[in-house]
Structure 1
Amino acid sequence: MTSLAQTRAAPARPRLGVGARTATGIAAGTLLLAAAPLYLAPYATTTLTRILVFGLLAASLNLLVGVVGLPSLGHAAFFGVGAYAAAWTAIHGLAGAGALLVGVVVAALVALVAGAVAVRASGVFFLMLTLAIGELTQQAADSWESVTGGSNGLYGVPAPTLFGTVLDQPATTYWYVLGFFVVGMLALRLVSTSAPGVVLRGIRDSEDRMRALGYRTTAIKLGALVFAGAVAGLAGGLLAAQQRLVTPADVGFETSALALLAVVIGGTGSWWGPCLGAALVIVVRDSLGATLDGHGPLALGLLFVLVVYLLPTGIARIRLRRAAS
């Protein structure tokens, strides 16, 4: 008979089946998204492209809100900086992946500088600091006309190119955005589900305890903010490639608030929930709002109230609760 001590010492079996199912789900979802332009009209394909861009922004914000516990109202600053940097680079002769890389690097550097101050605060103080950072970034975009184009924005951004092919059609632009969307989402999942993700959740739950265990919590939070800012910069570069225009509104409070709204609606801490929330935000604000005589924001506000009242943990948590029961 196996003793109690032997039972406690026995290592747990790895849950390989869960990983296999997850990989299968990711592959199936990617294939389904890749096939979408074959069956959708050009306008619907463009809308789906916007959803992917905004979904990646929301997912990067979710790393801060749901994993680290740092709610931000200035995340659009990194999104907009990435968009401006990628657009400026593309206009000056380096379109495609090179422009995206510049946008990612510049957004990460801005996040590093801003985060060095912001991560020393927490709670509502961190929230207000990020709001101030977002407002300062929008004012800079609005007044630095020689680089950003001022209130008119940067327009005439060339279409991205891939292996010498200009991707100027809705379907080809969509596939271009989808490829980098998958890369960004996988990077976010890798960080949030690996050992760094465990540390980040520990800081979210009890920063004092993690500090007592020897973790440099301020530096770790700064690293998470820089990484989230870099992914937001990638989303911004994809925005510039998709709409071929970047304006100060892309850096402003409204964009940050909508991204946070998408995270709350989809479910904080969920990997794919913020993307679902982003889809609902885009569809309600743009598509449904056009049929409601411009009352998209009102419909979006009603949706938010209903989700918070009926599903306070977000839409994605419905499936998670059922799987746990």
Structure 2
Amino acid sequence: MSAPDRPEGAFAASTAWRWLPLGIVVLLALLPFAVGEYFVNLASQVVIAVVFASSLNLLVGYGGLTSLGHAAFLGISAYTSAWLTTRMGLGHAVTAPAALMVTTAMGMLFGWISLRASGLGFLMLTLALSQIVWGLGYRLVSVTNGDNGISGLTRPHPFGWDLDISSNYYWFSLAIGCLCVYLMKRLIESPFGASLRGTRDQPRRMAALGYHVWAIRWTTFVASSFFAGVAGLLYVYFHKYIHPSVTAVPVSAEALLSVIAGGAGTVYGPALGALLVVVLKNYASAFIERWNMMLGLVFLFIVVFMPAGLVAGLSSARRRLSRGRA
């Protein structure tokens, strides 16, 4: 059906759907005026998880590269910022860019190593590298303070804005999170994103067409590590504490679960998945002792009835509802 012949109702519905993300952001910005401090802090944790899961989605959803070591970049960024702040006495204006630079450099190295394999081999290499970082977190006591972690950290005060107030920090993290998701969306929708999806679906054909498949994947790996580093900064600012457990496998597994549950290869799928995981982990666990079992049942339900994830399932339900109304 051509554009002029499109029914007016369908056009209005598609336009409303296009503006839905902006409306959700506006509602999220108003959240501190409607709920208490506990839920504001919970929302801040959701934002951090969204940035982290979305960074992993670049690899898993669009690159077809499943990683179980993504938490290493979150930990490297957080530890770099904490160490430079506590041991070197540097301000956040210096430590934040330095942490992102170090994390991106480690992403370059880890990507160069991990992309020597694909499929299961890639997954095992990322897992092994993450375990090395996890082990160093406990062993390098002079840098990481071992099992005691690094405490006594502070939050930045950009332009005199006191981020120690929970609502201020939520708005700060929401702004950073929206910017990161927007940049990742632009990257995905760019010609580079199209070539990345091509290497995921038809790597041999892309190579035959003259594309450097390894370079495209390596660049994506580096970009993914950068955004994971942003999540690491938000994490350490929120908790004002960092422990080696943040680089453990369960942290990477939770992010991977968020991507799969929300919908790998979709822009907003990881956000829905991260919301589900964080709420069950922090809120439902206060009422249900076996919240891990509940999370497993929810994930099983999604896999059985929405195998492509929540975003695809909800979009399919919306289309069916629209056809029914028509």
Q: 1:199 to 1:59 in 2, by over 3 A?
A: same
In structure 2, how many angstroms separate the alpha carbons of the residues matched to 1:67 and 1:284? 27
What letter corresponds to residue 262 of structure 1 in structure 2? Answer: S
In structure 2, how many angstroms separate the alpha carbons of the residues matched to 1:90 and 1:149? 14
> Displacement, 1:193?
1.1
Given candidates 241, 247, 260, the residue that maps to 1:245 is 241
> Displacement, 1:77?
0.6
In structure 1, how many angstroms separate the alpha carbons of the residues matched to 2:186 and 2:13? 15
Q: 1:275 to 1:155 in 2, by over 3 A?
A: same
Aligned to 1:87: 82
Q: Does 1:298 align with 2:293?
A: yes
> Displacement, 1:159?
1.7
Given candidates 299, 303, 317, the residue that maps to 2:312 is 317
In structure 2, how many angstroms separate the alpha carbons of the residues matched to 1:86 and 1:188? 23
In structure 2, how many angstroms separate the alpha carbons of the residues matched to 1:101 and 1:307? 38
Aligned to 2:324: none
Do the aligned residues in 2 keep the contact of 1:78 with 1:232 (CA within 8 Å)? yes
In structure 2, how many angstroms separate the alpha carbons of the residues matched to 1:21 and 1:223? 35
Q: Does 1:140 align with 2:136?
A: yes
> Displacement, 1:84?
1.2
In structure 2, how many angstroms separate the alpha carbons of the residues matched to 1:156 and 1:22? 45
What letter corresponds to residue 105 of structure 1 in structure 2? Answer: M
Aligned to 2:262: 266
Q: 1:189 to 1:298 in 2, by over 3 A?
A: same
Q: Deviations over 1:176-228 (max 9, x none)?
A: 11111111111110111111110000000011111111111111100000000
Q: Does 1:63 align with 2:32?
A: no
In structure 2, how many angstroms separate the alpha carbons of the residues matched to 1:188 and 1:163? 26
Q: What does 1:143-162 align with in structure 2 at a 5 Å threshold?
A: 143-162=139-158
> Displacement, 1:324?
6.2
> Displacement, 1:141?
1.1
In structure 1, how many angstroms separate the alpha carbons of the residues matched to 2:95 and 2:27? 28
Q: Does 1:200 align with 2:196?
A: yes
What letter corresponds to residue 247 of structure 1 in structure 2? Answer: H
Q: Secondary structure at the residue paired with 2:30?
A: helix
Given candidates 223, 229, 251, the residue that maps to 2:225 is 229
Aligned to 1:285: 281
What letter corresponds to residue 107 of structure 1 in structure 2? Answer: T
Aligned to 2:174: 178
Aligned to 2:4: none
Q: 1:41 to 1:259 in 2, by over 3 A?
A: same
Given candidates 25, 35, 47, the residue that maps to 2:42 is 47
Normalising by structure 2, we get a TM-score of: 0.90
Structure 2 spans left out of the alignment, 5+ residues: 1-10, 321-326
Q: Deviations over 1:36-85 (max 9, x none)?
A: 11111101100110010011100110110110100100011111111112
Which range is displaced more, 302-311 or 247-256? 302-311
Aligned residues: 309
CA RMSD in angstroms, aligned pairs only:
2.0
Q: Does 1:102 align with 2:98?
A: yes
> Displacement, 1:112?
0.4
Do the aligned residues in 1 keep the contact of 2:152 with 2:240 (CA within 8 Å)? yes
In structure 2, how many angstroms separate the alpha carbons of the residues matched to 1:96 and 1:19? 43
In structure 2, how many angstroms separate the alpha carbons of the residues matched to 1:292 and 1:139? 32
In structure 2, how many angstroms separate the alpha carbons of the residues matched to 1:323 and 1:296? 30
> Displacement, 1:87?
2.3
In structure 2, how many angstroms separate the alpha carbons of the residues matched to 1:202 and 1:17? 33
In structure 2, how many angstroms separate the alpha carbons of the residues matched to 1:86 and 1:176? 18
Normalising by structure 1, we get a TM-score of: 0.90
> Displacement, 1:20?
7.0
In structure 1, how many angstroms separate the alpha carbons of the residues matched to 2:120 and 2:316? 29
> Displacement, 1:105?
1.5
Given candidates 187, 190, 194, the residue that maps to 1:191 is 187
Do the aligned residues in 1 keep the contact of 2:70 with 2:130 (CA within 8 Å)? yes
Q: What does 1:110-129 align with in structure 2 at a 5 Å threshold?
A: 110-129=106-125
Do the aligned residues in 1 keep the contact of 2:161 with 2:168 (CA within 8 Å)? no
